[in-house]
């Protein structure tokens, strides 16, 4: 997985790249990557890896790109439960910015604006691939009547497709890790 992540990082930084460029970049990063015996990654090996992973990559001649339906452009996450607050995060991967909005039902503000330590948008984007939002169901719900549950929605816009998922008191398997990564990015603890 680490080699695929390194290839994704290179493509996110450089855009489309040829096999030799990816190979050169990977060999510069080689001390950080797991390898068997060979200290240098060969172009043929990189090409084989990329050819096998059609879920993330498109290979056209020697040029590699991230599949348009897997390249995040915009992510919107909404989380709310009774009695509140409602939290919204909007991440624009193209502009490399995010906004966080918190709405409380009572009329009093919870205090002064909090500043905190924010995580890295690049690190969050790397983790996003492991959450596989494109595989999440459209709707998650529990059986029976839910009165005071937590509702949520996630919308991921990629270059090629929009993925939407929502739920009420039921979550995808990756939800806790997704929430932790989101909390680290915005610097505010989400109750998930």
- Render pLDDT for 54-100 as a digit per residue (tens, 0 to 9): 888 999 988 999 999 999 999 999 998 877 788 999 999 999 999 99
Phi and psi (nearest 5°) for 19?
Answer: -55, -45
Contact 137, 118 (CB under 8 A): no
Give the separation between CA 7 and CA 29, rounded to whole angstroms. 11
Q: 190 to each of 2, 112, 124, 127, 171, how far by Cα in Å? A: 28, 19, 15, 17, 14
Highest mean pLDDT among 38-42, 56-60, 108-112, 115-119: 56-60
3-state secondary structure of 140: strand
The tens digit of pLDDT for each residue in 15-52 reads 899 999 998 888 887 665 555 545 578 888 889 989 98
At 31 the pLDDT is: 61
State the pTM of this model. 0.82
Q: Mean pLDDT throughout 115-122?
A: 80
Name the CATH topology of 2-66: Arc Repressor Mutant, subunit A (1.10.10)
Q: Structural domain boundaries of the chain?
A: 2-66, 72-186
CA geometry: angle at 174 spanning 120 and 14, to 5°? 40
């Amino acid at each position: 997985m680490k080699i695929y992540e390194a290839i994704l990082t290179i493509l996110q930084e450089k855009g489309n790249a040829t096999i030799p460029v990816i190979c050169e970049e990977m060999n510069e990063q080689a001390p950080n990557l797991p390898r068997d015996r060979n200290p240098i990654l060969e172009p043929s090996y990189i090409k084989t890896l990329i050819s096998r992973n059609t879920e993330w990559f498109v290979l056209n001649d020697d040029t590699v790109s991230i599949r348009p339906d897997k390249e995040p452009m915009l992510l919107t996450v909404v989380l709310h439960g009774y009695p509140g607050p409602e939290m919204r995060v909007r991440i624009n991967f193209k502009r490399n910015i995010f906004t966080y909005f918190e709405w409380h039902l009572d009329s009093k503000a919870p205090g002064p604006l909090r500043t905190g330590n924010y995580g890295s948008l690049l690190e969050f984007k790397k983790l996003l691939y492991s959450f596989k939002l494109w595989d999440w169901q459209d709707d998650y719900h529990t059986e029976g009547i839910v009165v005071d549950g937590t509702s949520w929605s996630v919308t991921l816009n990629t270059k090629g497709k929009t993925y939407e998922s929502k739920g009420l008191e039921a979550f995808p398997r990756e939800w806790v890790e997704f929430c932790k990564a989101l909390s680290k990015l915005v610097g505010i603890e989400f109750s998930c």
